[in-house]
Chain A
Amino acid sequence: MTALPDFRRSRWASLTALVTTSVLLTACGSSGDGPDTGSGSGSGSGQAKSGGTLTFTVGSDVGCVDPQQVGSNDTIYSVRQIVDSLTDQDPETGKIVPWLAKSWDINAAATSFTFRLRSGVTFSDGSELTAQVVKDNFDAVPKLGALGTLAQGYLSGVENTTVVDPLTVKVTFKEPNAQFLQATSTHTLGIESSASVHRTPQQKCSDGVTGSGPFVLDQYVQNQSITLAKRTGYDWGSSLWSKKGDAYLDKLVFKVVPEAGVRAGGLQSGQVDAISSVGKANEAALKGGQVTLQHRANPGVVFGLGFNHARPVLKDTKVRQAILSAIDRRQIADTVFPTGTQPATSVLAHTTPDYTNLAADLAFDAARAKSLLDSAGWRTGGDGIRAKDGKRLSLTITWFPNAATNQPALELVQQQLKAVGFDVALKQSQVSQFSTTLQAGDFDVVWGNVTRSDPDILRNSFSTRLANFYRLPSSSLDTALSAQAATTDPAKRGQLVSEAQKLLVRNAYYAPVVELQTQLGLSKKVHNLDFDSGSRIRLHDTWIG
């Protein structure tokens, strides 16, 4: 669903999370098909009972079952259940709460984090959770390679991880890194057994890992299915979960069915219990009947066009600004995406802390787009496509089939850009190729988003001092992004984040299009299937009846 959602955690999540969720709740409450966040789905009737299998169909497989290396929602849904994290984040308040860590201390400069671990936690291979295991996990992160950029981002600038005593571990950073606490709540820094950590990233990807989570990987067939079984004797659930001990469900089966229509039909006919990524097209068919639609807006960088600034055509600010003006965001949101989806009004989704409304800068204005292109020297040719010095105004948008909404959304973008003189080709690539494509810079324009409940995601995505996948030139944007990360004063930081958003939009470094709203379809017999703070799912408390 999201391209690489949750692409690196940002700083200050703990500080800003409160803001996040209050906005979230108002956003979700408006549309009213079933409960939205937190406290459970389905009709609350009946008594919770153990046992049964949950069959969940997703649209894609990222080709890897290691939580530390997976960034695509469709796969996160399943692999999240295998591992526990040091902390958990309350999706309603944004507060960081205990999970594997009973408590923690952060020094005033936010450079040192000490976690005191819960005792008696075991991995499914029987080994025990100790400070050394956590150290092994964090020490291995830099060796994760291409798929580990998420985890590497969270731990960037780490000086060392030390074992204070068998159940106390301390992580020290060279610079302030307050986002790290929230990062420890993510699946990306989920704790795996020492044996797993010592395997190669490829082995972890294809064979899976041993975690301490409420479910254990039973079978993985690439592009086909992921099967999980209940971990018996589980007794160290997150403090957010209501059930103590084992999970309710015996078995989880995640099947890959690429076509949204087939998924919807399977849910309707009762063949499956839950489906991911329900777009607008299938809402009508699913409403009524034995199905609940459950949705939650994702914070972070909105769906949009990421430009490769190394491409000559895209170096021209006017061309990029023309693209921003030529896109009719409302039309795209209303035609393709789930009901209630908001057109983008900034680079950040409106549920992200320190979001600044820049709707005026992102208004649809084809005339402005045309005059910008005219002034940049791109003249309309006979076939309606513009050209300059004999070169056509052609762009290729690379996209990944990780959500049913991607293709129709991009076909609309293609139409809208064609109307002002762009010749846009759409190129579908493999979901598993997402990171490779970005790293290699092998694209003109890439379609994606990043789920993140902290504005620091802007730094991760657009700072030239980090991965800089978009090949941006260094500019005052870097200054703003770095400054917000080093600021402990929330008000000051808000100003800097706002400035960064303005710079991004006004220089058209990125073309925001639409916000992501995760929408799942659930059979009415599924209860308590909840969203976590990143709009992914928690299945420990889920039961069928």
Chain B
Amino acid sequence: MSQSLVDDPGKAALGLARPVEAGSAPEPGRRADARRVLRFLLRRPGLLLSAGVLVLVVLASFWPGLFTSQDPLKGVPSQNFRGPSGSHWFGTDELGRDVFSRVVHGAHLSLQATLIAVLVAFVLGGLLGVVAGFVGRWVDDVLMRFVDVLLSIPALFLSLALVTALGYGTVKVAVAVGIASVAGFARVARAEVLRVRLAVFVEASRSCGARWYSVLGRHVLPNAAGPVIVLATLDFGSSILAVSALSFLGYGAPPPAPEWGTLISDGRNYLANAWWLTALPGLAIAATVLATNRIARALDGEWSRQR
């Protein structure tokens, strides 16, 4: 029972995260998978839209040139505070810079920070959880009490304490956000490892005399990864929010770097005369988070249920 349950979301997650690969590696069974993914998506226009938004954001963060040819750092000062129009979709800011271009280029910084945050949480949390779950005994107790403590400090406060200690900047903010969500990952990873460890086939391979690392590497990790990866997609959305909140508070990259949170924070100075400076970058954040959350939800529940 446990085997199939654990297996499912894991595969689903991997399959969805790399849809192209699933198609380009034409194993016999994979084609049916691809078709099913397609059918699954077509029945859910919201999910399809979310996937589209996410693809656009990822493209923007790697190849901003695809979306805009305007310089995000240099504008025409005499054309400042122009409202949204055909030539400036998101208007221009106080120095005449194109806001759309700044949002597009900002995607790079903001997504980079988010990825770092998720990665830190995933690696550290996963490590803690796997060690606790696999070693067990007092190690488990100690590590999990530590995780309890991390959970008792509100995440933003923990991030702020880390920012105070580490200093400002995109990467430092990202690390601070990542560490604040380590605890969640540790819990899920530990729970999964415990479940898999007790599963029949692991017991079997152990009794056949397999080394602990081969049990860990071959059986436990692959089977426990699924829910952790689902959590990572969920965490992606909340990390974008946390990173942008910290850069909104002024702890991110210094000007003129167009981090999303910084754009909104700078726009506050012109709230009375240029609404687009705050409203439109915020829309970009909201759309991205909404999209990743929708996809995470699909990975978490709907997809596995549908199978």
Contact = CB atoms under 8 A, between A and B. Distances in A.
A441 interface: no
Interface in A249-293: 259-262, 264-265, 268, 281-282, 284-286
Contacts of B80: 335
A261 B77 contact: no
A281 B270 CA distance: 7
Kindly name the residue among B73, B74, B255 whose own CB sees the greatest number of chain A CB atoms within 10 A.
B255
Contacts of A427: 254
Contact of B95 (A264, A408, A428): A408
A412 B95 contact: yes
Contacts of B98: none
A468 interface: no
Chain B residues touching A, range: 20 to 34
Contacts of B95: 335, 408, 411-412, 415
Contact of A415 (B74, B254, B266, B270): B74
A261 B78 contact: no
Looking at chain A, what size class is its interface with the partner chain?
Answer: 20 to 34
Interface string A419-432: 00000011110000
Contact of A428 (B96, B254, B273): B254
A259 B268 contact: yes
A275 to B, nearest CB: 11
Interface in B85-110: 94-96
A355 to B, nearest CB: 27
B269 interface: yes
A414 interface: yes
A281 B74 contact: no
A412 B77 contact: yes
Contacts, number: 68
Contacts of A425: 254
Interface in A305-344: 331, 334-336
Contacts of A281: 81, 94, 269-270, 273-274
Given A281-B274, A428-B250, A414 B94 contact: no
B221 to A, nearest CB: 43
A280 to B, nearest CB: 9
Interface string A399-441: 0000010011011101100000000011110000000000000
B268 A262 contact: yes
B273 A335 contact: no
A259 B77 contact: no
- Most A C-beta atoms less than 10 A away, residue of B73, B269, B273: B269
27 contacts: A259-B269, A259-B271, A260-B270, A261-B271, A261-B273, A262-B268, A262-B271, A264-B271, A264-B273, A265-B271, A268-B272, A281-B269, A281-B270, A282-B273, A285-B272, A331-B77, A334-B78, A335-B78, A335-B96, A408-B94, A411-B95, A412-B95, A415-B256, A426-B254, A426-B255, A426-B256, A428-B254
Given A260-B270, A281-B274, 14 more contacts: A260-B269, A265-B271, A268-B272, A282-B270, A286-B272, A334-B77, A335-B78, A335-B96, A404-B269, A407-B255, A408-B94, A412-B77, A414-B255, A425-B254
Interface of B: 73-74, 77-78, 80-81, 94-96, 250, 254-256, 266-274
